[in-house]
Amino acid sequence: MNGGQSLNRKKQTGQTRKLAIAPYLFILPNLLIFGVFIVIPSLLGLFYSFHVYDGLNPMKFNGLGNYIKIIGDKEFWSTIGRTGIYAAIVVPLIYAVALGIAMLLAREIKMRGLFRAIFYWPTMISFIIVGLTWKWIFGDSFGILNHMLTLIGVEPVGFLTSPFWANAAVIIATVWSRAGFFMVIFIAGLQAIPTDYYEAARLDGATGLKVFRHITLPLLKPTSLLVFMLSLIDAFKAFPLIFALTGGGPGKETTYIVQYIYEIGFTKQELGLASAMSVMLFVIIGGFSALQFRISKGGAV
């Protein structure tokens, strides 16, 4: 009798262990991908940042030399400033556009699924393709927009050769390509808000802007924090769309920090210095995210 109970206990223990291990086996492929393509390259980048390395000759240990050089690099800080201005404009715009679309499409309307798919579709397109597409729209001599202006007798506009218009073109293309992604996040947040709050507000006579201000926005705080953090990170690592659209021009007007790091690493072949810049960019983004998280009290309502 005791032997049978002991055998059953062993079987139960074995099954319990298998059930405990199973979740880790399911996430193992993702952990491997994350380790190979994120963790290992990050550690290598950190290692390279303490060396002088051009990718061809043997690397030489440089200690904090690369970081000291960056501190005195006016172009680096100028590029950080341009990137910050770009982020300060594009992040609120993406937030407003994504939230506006989400509030329209969270309602019960005809063909809601179709409209959601239409607004989400740009996020599935490669950033390079998005940049080239908008280049054909804003191009100075071959752009569709300038062609339409000439048809109505208006002089062509230097959309990609004027600093103001080039930055405007980058912002428009960025918002167009990213708003759909954050729309989906906002729709999920809106659907998670209990309808009881809205019913109570209607009974109290609150409508429109008051409901949005006192119910929707406060209860969307965790979602808003997520959107702000993700869009801020997107803005600071923006590169392929802008590179395809303006090439960083005119001059350096739309050259943001990732493109500058790319130029240092692969054009000037200063991989150690570029790695140190990447580490500093990581620290800057982490600092902004931590500050934002603290200001919002962790997204608590």
**Residue 235 corresponds to which tokens in the numbers above?**
């803005």
**Residue 258 corresponds to which tokens in the numbers above?**
């990732």
pLDDT for the residue 4: 57
Task: Give whole-number Cα distances, 284 to 239, 280, 297, in Å.
Answer: 17, 6, 20
Residue 231 has pLDDT above 90, yes or no: yes
pLDDT for the residue 300: 56
Share of the chain above pLDDT 70, in %: 92
Q: Which fold has domain 65-299?
A: MetI-like fold (1.10.3720)
**Distance between CA 170 and CA 188 in Å, rounded?**
28
| 273-300 average pLDDT score | 84
pLDDT for the residue 92: 96
Q: What is the pLDDT of the chain when averaged over all its residues?
A: 89
3-state secondary structure of 125: coil
**Distance between CA 112 and CA 105 in Å, rounded?**
6
Residue 11 has pLDDT above 80, yes or no: no
pLDDT for the residue 14: 59
pLDDT tens profile 14-70: 566 766 787 888 888 998 999 999 899 999 999 999 999 988 889 999 999 999 999
pLDDT tens profile 118-157: 999 999 999 999 999 999 999 888 889 999 999 998 888 8
Which pLDDT band, with edges at 50, 70 and 90, does 299 fall under? Answer: low
Stated pTM of the model: 0.87
pLDDT for the residue 7: 56
Please indicate whether residue 108 or residue 264 has the higher confidence score (pLDDT): 264
**Distance between CA 238 and CA 240 in Å, rounded?**
7
- Residue extents of the structural domains in the chain: 1-48, 65-299
